[in-house]
Structure 1
Amino acid sequence: MNLVDRLAELAQAHPERLAFIQEQGSKSVSITYDKLYEEVCAGAESFRKAGLKQGDTILFLHHINIQLYAALLATFHAGMTAMFVDLAAGDHLIDHSLHLHPAQAYFASPKAHLLRFHSASLRKIPRHFSSKWAPFTTAWPKYRAAVHSPAQLSPDTPALITFTSGSTGKPKAACRTHGFLTAQHQALSEELDMQETQVDLTTLPIFALANLASGMTSVIADSDLSAPASVNATRIQQQMQRYPITRCAASPAFFRAMLDQNAFPDFRTVYTGGAPVFPSMLERISQQHPSTQLVTVYGSTEAEPISHCNWSHCRDEDLEAMKNGHGLLVGKPNAYTKIAIIKDHNGKPLPKLSPEGFEAITLATGSPGEIVVTGDHVLKGYLNGLGDDETKIHVEDTVWHRTGDAGYLDEDGRIWLLGRCSAKLAPKAGETSPIYPFGVEAQAMYLPGVERAALVDHEGKRLLAIQGKASDPSLSSLQAQWNIDLIFPMDTIPVDKRHNAKIEYPALRKLLAELGDNAG
């Protein structure tokens, strides 16, 4: 098997169908399925001519565009492994990643090749490829090669390695095989209703691969996709006018930014996830665009997707529950994912368990705890096993992934998210259970003037940080309900660099500590 087998099929069945469209300066550039496959074959041939062989690893540092996807698919075609590093976590991650898993080649933009002056690890990589001409590199081939079949591989052949800092700050490498990515596409295509001939505004790299496998057209969003909260809504509106875009999947920060610019496009369907999706934002979209179908998607790097929730299917009692601090509804697990809620053992490795032992730590319906999942598209382990001890549970032949999220299942089998296990607050005197942040934060986000909210423990006090201009009376009942010691207004609450939407609780605690008495 090979992931690129599907592209070869589509190139033959629908040669003239557009695979990608992107903006390039003042003009649009597009490529059809057959021309894309020709470029992929040429790229695979270029890699082999440079001395690379099946099983070698190529490190990618490149912005999202057609050439990136062509080079990535060429890597898969040749039976090689693509490796990506999340630069948002810091340049030091490059050195650490290459120490854990050396690369035999480096594919980058001319600008990213300048990093070789600063990184000895990059200079040690023996072969260098560039999407455009750059000194001492092999330029991406401009010619089309005669098409040839992809290398045939076993399902467990590594295809894609991604390094991230992880929630603990310790770099971990997720290694996805050809079999894993095939299973992930199957789950994504059903969960996101991917159908041939649809046109998707693309902001998330992994979704573009699923779009290709589904025979769709991907319009690469005309924006800096490394900073979704900084989207230029006017440019997106212009793309909507040029192309028959019907759908978009993006971080909630991407959609919120367009709302704030009063320029939200008239999508037929919106899929959003990767960070908490608060109902207050979905209500704003629904009020302005009642015909737009809104779907929240729950998943993670290790398990994408887990579930989805169609906003139109939320009942009145669901909305009231979210408004009153009962968590965020993210729907039923999909058919490819098995889920359990276990006792919260956050930060503590768990030993191998028997089925009876696993059942003993599994909680009943309605009881909050740690969310664990398993399935063919759920990562069974990290590269070299680094990070497995604290994130995996082995129950005979089944490997469960510990998501690090807290939540519970309701009577209908739907998942309600409560927040990160690591962000929970200890109960005060008279309280019987810890408090997780999402419920309080979602409730606060409904209050007029509140742009963002974060609940943390600060010097033994329960503190609710508020970004925006909320009136004191609107916060008083919330403060009393959750026994909050201090409401603390802030100009900006720190969020993650990748999605621009997840609260960075460690960074917030550090900032509050620096403020000293002003936050006490």
Structure 2
Amino acid sequence: MNILSLLNEKAEKYPDKIAFVFRNPKTNDYDKISFRDLDQKSSKVAIYLSRNGFERGFKSLILIKPSIDFIILIYGMIKLGVVPIFPPNFNLKSRNGRKQFRAILGRARIDALIGSRKILLISYFLGLRSISNNVIAMDKIKSHYLDSNNNSDFSIDFDVDWGNCSVFVKYTTGSTGPAKGVIYNHNMLHSHINLLKSEGINSEDIFFGRSGTLIVHPLIGLTSILHTNKPKQTTGQEIVDAVNRWSVTACFLSPPSAINLSNYLKSVSIKGLVKQAMPSLERLYVGGESVSSEVVRIIEPHLSSARPFDGGYHLVYGATEGFPLCQNQANNIILTESETKSGNGICLGKAVDGVKIRILTFKDSFEEFDNSLAVDVLGKGISSIGEISVSGPVVYSRLIGDDEETFGGPLTWARDVNEGTSWHRTGDLGYFDNKNQIWLFGRKKHRVELSNGVTIYPKQIEPILDSMFDIRTALVNGPNNSKAFIIVENNNHNWEILEDKLNKSISKLCKLIGENIDFSFILFGESFPVDSGHQAKIRRDELSYWLCNQ
């Protein structure tokens, strides 16, 4: 079933209920649209696109900022079966950014381009218009669906088996490798909605957060309040104000926004201004990267007294290729804090309903290793580290266009020949503990194999130092890996004093990880480079390049 068959149901059941709300950055007010209005206007979009040569399976690049108009367009495309492509945030002012952008579009083999007149003009000078002859300005589409005389009677084709058909393409940020276009199909989104329902999310909820899969949340019948500011720019007060204005019950934040919220709540609590800042908020989901347990401690008491028994704060683990995969709630985050600070990694909790997880071997003693075979790591605990690999209905099945052949297939999928099952290799390393919880050690490509034969991992080392000295660190590969190089982000500490403390902590570090290692600490003169999505994942390759070329 086409995922937007649910929209017509909700439009009939809740015609005047608000489906989407966007904060307008120009007016500081909120733009909103009802379920009935969204259903009718998106049907007009489907009719308009069909008349202009668009058809099911068409892949169209979307160059429009998130807004109510954006949602109307996307929903109209999905009804017709046209596939929106959401590109990564490349810096198009740079030659390299433009080169990467053209490369992903070439691999995707797009059929059309839709954007505002201004962006279409810019795309012409960037040489993007040559990729497709089907170019439509959003102004024309908007004029069509705003005209009350135009027909809004559109029926989704129920003769089509929509399950494995593409809904949209979302790109990875490119923080750990080339940006790849992940295809979301109708079955994936139905599974995502069912998973939300199993969490207790229902039509009575009001969800606040950034875009992404939040664009399908209203198909449960709830209201989505979409925030378009970048994570680092989203202040704690903005979050609290939005939650209280709309009586938000569920929220998804990127780590920088959660940290900003924590800092704000800490400041107002110290001043005695508020005891419970967000009394309606029952569930807060934070994903994209882990944050310190101190952030959890500060936020949790400000959530609703009706929050889940194990805590309203949820650390959510997932990826563009599959989300969510695991989650860990406040009580358990705090309970496992001491192990994290002892070098045991980050506890991700257990797999969500419907998701299966295995820890697969990712290398062996031979020079060649067959990445396409699913072989389990034996045992549990920190001595049984392998690649976190997943399967389930919320996990993708393929990449767009040439990306599948270049970056997918046996490079990212492992086959269990005995079971006849396939498992997506996430690229993350971790292990199972005796409670079958997953612990994260970091990305496979970011492990550091020292010249003395010892291997260490980012999420093994960094949480120890970060918690000891209230700093942000990054373990990176350095010149010949003769030492364990730790980059320290610029902060307000006196570097000479901090460096002395760090050097004195080496013996404790070595004792915690059970190895004698020569550490070297280097100050990075500014904020760490991070991914363009959550603005949380450190671009370690850039730091490594900087270190090796000093």
Question: Which TM-score band applies after superposition, normalised by the shorter structure?
Answer: 0.7 to 0.9
- 1:78-122 CA-to-partner distances (Å, cap 9, x unmatched) read 022111211237333332233223333222234322332223332
Selected match of 2:251 from 238, 248, 251: 248
Give distance in 2, aligned partners of 1:4 and 1:484: 57
Question: What is the rounded CA distance, in whole Å, between the counterparts of 2:237 and 2:334 in structure 1?
Answer: 34
Deviation at 1:182, TM superposition (A): 1.8
Alignment of 1:107-146 (within 5 A): 107-132=114-139, 139=143, 141-143=145-147, 145-146=151-152
Tell me the CA shift for residue 477 of structure 1: 5.4
State the partner residue of 1:53. 55
Give the whole-Å Cα distance in 2 for the aligned partners of 1:477 and 1:182: 53
Change (3 A) 1:132 1:231: farther
- Indicate the residue corresponding to 2:111 in structure 1: 104
Partner of 2:486: 464
8 Å contact from structure 2 (residues 164, 187) kept in 1: yes
Per the alignment, in what secondary structure is the counterpart of residue 252 of structure 2?
Answer: strand
Q: Contact 1:64–1:205 (CA<8 Å) still a contact in 2?
A: no
Deviation digits for residues 265-323 of structure 1 (CA, Å, limit 9, x no counterpart): 6243210012233324323434766967210100011111111011123463x121012
Per-residue CA deviations over 1:108-157 (Å, capped at 9, x if unaligned) read 23432233222333244223334446xxx885621354343222332121
Does the Cα contact within 8 Å between 1:447 and 1:474 map onto a contact in 2?
A: no
**C-alpha displacement of 1:234:** 4.1
Q: Which residue pairs with 2:439 in the alignment?
A: 416
Does structure 2 conserve the Cα–Cα contact (< 8 Å) formed by 1:203 and 1:249? yes
Residue 289 of structure 2 is aligned to residue 275 of structure 1: yes
* Change over 3 Å in CA distance of 1:403–1:124 after alignment to 2: closer
Q: Distance in 2 between matches of 1:123 and 1:139?
A: 26
Q: Does 1:372 align with 2:389?
A: yes
Partner of 1:485: 519
Task: Give secondary structure in 1 for the equivalent of 2:42.
Answer: helix
Report Cα offsets for 1:36-78 as digits up to 9, x if no partner: 1111111101111212122222211222112112211111100
Distance in 2 between residues matched to 1:474 and 1:336, nearest whole Å: 46
Would the alpha carbon gap of residues 116 and 436 (structure 1) be closer, same or farther in structure 2, given more than 3 Å must change?
Answer: same
What's the offset of the Cα at 1:188?
A: 4.3
- Cα drift, residue 448 of structure 1: 4.1
> In structure 2, what is the equivalent of residue 11 of structure 1?
11
Alignment of 1:162 with 2:170, yes or no, is: yes
Conserved? CA contact 2:171–2:320, under 8 Å: no
**Secondary structure, in 3 states, of the residue corresponding to 1:72?**
helix
Question: Shift of the alpha carbon at 1:469?
Answer: 4.4
* Separation in 1, partners of 2:154, 2:21: 25
What corresponds to 1:31 in structure 2? 33
TM-score (norm 2): 0.83
Number of positions where the alignment pairs a residue of Structure 1 with one of Structure 2: 498
Q: Counterpart amino acid of 1:212?
A: P
Cα distance in 1, alignment partners of residues 302 and 142 from structure 2: 50
Aligned partner of 1:229 in structure 2 is 232
Structure 1 residue corresponding to 2:543, chosen from 504, 508, 515: 508
Moved more, 179-188 or 37-46: 179-188
Instruction: Name the counterpart of 1:304.
Output: 323
Summarize the Cα distance change of 1:351–1:80 in structure 2 as closer, same or farther, 3 Å threshold: same
The amino acid that maps onto 2:8 is A
By how many angstroms is 1:258 displaced?
A: 3.4
- Could you tell me which of 341, 345, 353 is aligned with 1:323? 341
Rounded to whole Å, the distance in 2 between the matches of 1:287 and 1:489 is 36
CA distance in 1, matches of 2:191, 2:172: 22
Contact 2:206 2:249 in 1 (8 A): yes
Q: Would the aligned equivalents of 2:282 and 2:303 in 1 still touch at CA under 8 Å?
A: no
Structure 1's 75 and 242: CA in aligned 2 closer, same or farther, altered over 3 A? same
- Asked whether the 8 Å contact 1:349–1:390 carries over to 2, the reply is no
Change (3 A) 1:65 1:488: same
Alignment deviations for residues 204-229 of structure 1 (CA, whole Å, 9 cap, x no partner):
321231x11221101122x42xx311
Residue in structure 1 matched with residue 533 of structure 2 by the alignment: 498
Name which of 461, 466, 476 aligns with 1:445: 466
Query: TM-score with structure 1 length normalisation?
Result: 0.88
> Do the aligned residues in 2 keep the contact of 1:280 with 1:446 (CA within 8 Å)?
no
TM superposition shift of 1:426 = 1.6
- With over 3 angstroms needed to count, the CA separation of the structure-2 counterparts of 1:54 and 1:314, relative to structure 1, is closer
Mapped contact 1:116–1:123 kept (Cα < 8 A):
no
Which residue does 2:502 correspond to in 1? 475
SS class of match (2:218) = helix
Instruction: Give the drift of 1:419.
Output: 0.5
Corresponding position of 1:63: 65
2: CA distance, partners of 1:466 / 1:352? 37
How far, CA to CA, are the matches of 1:374 and 1:28 in structure 2? Answer: 39
How far, CA to CA, are the matches of 1:165 and 1:127 in structure 2?
27
**Cross-structure match for 1:2:** 2
Query: Alignment identity in percent?
Result: 22
Q: Which runs of 5+ in 2 are unaligned?
A: 92-96, 269-276, 511-516
Q: Counterpart of 1:92 in 2: which secondary structure?
A: helix
* Shift, 1:169, TM fit: 3.2
Q: Deviations over 1:315-334 (max 9, x none)?
A: 63x12101212111111012
Higher mean C-alpha displacement, 495-504 vs 155-164:
155-164
For residue 217 of structure 1, the aligned residue among 223, 227, 235 is 223
The change in CA–CA distance for 1:88 and 1:281 in structure 2 (over 3 A counts) is farther
Amino acid at match of 1:368: I
Structure 1 gaps of 5+ residues are none
- Gap change, CA 1:85 and 1:13, over 3 Å in 2: same
- Cα pair 1:107 1:129 within 8 Å, conserved: yes
Matched with 2:83 is 81
Moved more, 323-332 or 163-172: 163-172
Are the counterparts in 2 of residues 350 and 390 from structure 1 also a CA contact under 8 Å?
Answer: no
Change (3 A) 1:277 1:139: farther
